[in-house]
Amino acid sequence: MPPEGPTVEDVQKMFSEEKEALTKQIDEIQDKYKRALAETENVRQRMQKQIDDVKLFGIQAFCKDLLDVVDVLGRATESIPPAEISDRNPHLKNLFQGLKMTETNMLKVFNSNGLFQINPNTGDKFDPNLHEAMFEQVVEGVDPGNVAVVTKIGHRLHQRTIRPAQVGVSKSD
């Protein structure tokens, strides 16, 4: 009489199929694990970049507000005629010197905190990332598409423009 139950070949085939299924399942789990690790690393890197950006640019709104103060100081010192700044008028001279020192100190503080001026020269190539075109005009000696006049100095915080320089751009006849 033949033995009852599965044969050796049947048992080997069954174990082989189960081994393949388990190997496939292990491969799938390892793939999911590696993907989860990669995603976690990507999230960590994105969060680190956001933290770094907050550290660098967290003072951006404060800087923008202070730029208006510096503009007012600049206009105040420019409004005083140079002929009036003399020993004949010591109060005006002292006020002028105090305003200039305040403006200079504010600009030093700005620079030490990564806030720099964008002050293009006449003839510089217009850059829409740094300049805001306010108008176009024909200017002798300045190539079309270049800065002709600076109406307001711009500023950048580290590498980010927070206020573009307002300029007039030269155009052809």
10-39 pLDDT, tens digit per residue, is 889 999 999 999 999 999 999 999 999 999
Q: What is the pLDDT of residue 148?
A: 94
Instruction: Select the more confidently predicted residue: 130 or 84.
Output: 130
Residue 125 has pLDDT above 60, yes or no: yes
Q: What is the pLDDT of residue 120?
A: 96
pTM above 0.75, yes or no: no
**Proportion of the chain in helix, strand, coil states, percent, rounded to 5:** 55, 20, 25
Nearest residue to 151 via CA among 119, 113, 107: 119
Please tell me the distance from the alpha carbon of residue 67 to that of residue 49, in angstroms, as a whole number. 27
Phi, psi (degrees; rounded to nearest 5) at 85: -90, 90
Q: Read out DSSP for 41-109? A: HHHHHHHHHHHHHHHHHTTHHHHHHHHHHHHHHHHHHHTS-GGG-STTSHHHHHHHHHHHHHHHHHHHH
Structure tokens at 27: 């491969």
- Poorest-pLDDT segment among 3-12, 26-35, 100-109: 3-12
Q: What is the pLDDT of residue 161?
A: 95
Residue 1 has pLDDT above 60, yes or no: no
